[in-house]
Every structure is written in C-alpha cells, then in structure tokens.
Structure 1
C-alpha cells in the first residue's frame, strides 16, 4: 500500500485509520498470516503510521531502492495476524 496525503491533513490519523482497514482486509478476507511494509529511512511520517497501526520495526534494507538517482535505505515493518487480532480485542493500541 502506498499513500499520499495533503499536508493540511497530516497528523489527523487518516493514514493510520486507512492502514488499519487494509490490515483488517488482509487478515480477515484474504486470510494472510503476515503483512509487511517499508518506507524510506527518512520518512518519519510513514514510519509513525505503520507503528501506530501496530506494525513492528524489523530492520533496514541497505541501499535497496534507487530514488531520484540515489540508492536509499528502506525501513521494514510487519505485523502478524495473531498480533493484529490481539490489538483488535483491546490488547494493544
């Protein structure tokens, strides 16, 4: 999933709410066991969206993407179905 949000709406929880719905669809409808995502190492906003949605930081892929002619690092996050289910029952964020 990728997202772009107008700056006027940053910090309102819109992207986090949307990601939680995507996670729910992935686990409940598609019956996935694990969902992962990544963001540029300097993209603090996307990192916050993933952690607020319950995703855990796993590590960094070094220089794995070329963006605007420069190789960049990517932070990787994931969540398991069991973790999502636990959060949905009030055990987390």
Structure 2
C-alpha cells in the first residue's frame, strides 16, 4: 500500500524532518493556531521535529496518518491532512490545517477528498468523521464539500486559550461514500 498520493494540484506524502521549519512557520501563525486544538502558540522551537517523529511512528503502527500537502507547481508545503484511526471500530477522525497564505483556494477540500478515499478504499474504514470549532466555518465547509453530513454540535466541548469552544461534528459512512462515488462516476460518462 502506497502512502504517497496525487491529486490534480497536490502531492500528499508523509512528513520529513526537513519540513520542520515550514511546519513551525505555517502552523505557528496565530490565526492557524487559534482554531486548531493541538497547535501551540507561540510554536516552540523543536516542537515540529518532535511532532514529525511522533506522526511517523504512528503511521508505521497504523494508528494515524499525517500527510504533508505539497503544491505540484512549486513544491511548496502548504499544510497537513491527518487521519487518526481506530482499527477496533474501523473509523477515523480527519483533521487538517492549511497555512494562511493558502486559505480559500480549495486545497484542503482537494486533499481531504483523497485522504477520505484512502480511508474507505485502502484502509476499509466504515466511518470517517471530523470536528471543527463553530467559529471556524472554513473548516466545516471543507467537510460539507467532501460529502460529510452535519451530525451535531457539542457545546463548550474543548478548552482553547482559556475559552470553552463549541465543536461541530460531521461524518460519513463507507456506504455513503461508495454511493456518492458511483454517482460521480456515472455523471462523468
């Protein structure tokens, strides 16, 4: 099973230690960190290297997969598309961030579609879900665009920078994915 993917405008590959400086710069932007639960601000030196090593080990075990999102045209690393897997329940949580200079260009949607395909077709998951802070509509618009349905809001579900934030959850079952894929295939012919 390969862990390097291609879309129309992007390559998705595992992170390398040489990506650490760009990860720290992009993820360390205050606006990116503000709506992403696990990103610290300010982003400490050495944290990106530690994170890259951690996600590499997790992907080797099949617990999670973190893909660097790379623009084909110039090779720029622009973000992260991750999937934390629960093998026991055959489900995964999709999570992502995009560097601020690359917001609003459809890169997250394009990368998410490919990683959802990987989850359902290669990993044979039954369900993929994602959550976003309600104050981050850009994130949950991605979820809608890839075919996920809103499943509910959890009030004050997480504590970020001293404030309790509401999370909105979206999800999709493999059966829905396969139905949507069949319809898209049919529409293209």
Q: Output the TM-score relative to the length of structure 2.
A: 0.46
Give the distance between the partners of 2:178 and 2:164, measured in 1 at CA.
36
Partner residue, 2:115: 22
1:43 aligns with 2:133: no
Shift of 1:47: 0.8
1:59 aligns with 2:152: yes
Give the distance between the partners of 1:88 and 1:10, measured in 2 at CA.
26
Q: Output the TM-score relative to the length of structure 1.
A: 0.89
1:11 aligns with 2:101: no
Structural RMSD (CA): 1.3
SS in 2 for 1:3: strand
Compare relative contact order (CA 8 Å, sep 6+) and give the higher one, 1 or 2. 1
Partner residue, 1:68: 161
Task: Tell me the matched-pair count.
Answer: 91
SS in 2 for 1:75: strand
Report the structure number with the largest CA radius of gyration: 2
5+ residue gaps, structure 2: 1-81, 83-94, 185-189
1:33 aligns with 2:126: yes
5+ residue gaps, structure 1: none
Shift of 1:73: 0.7
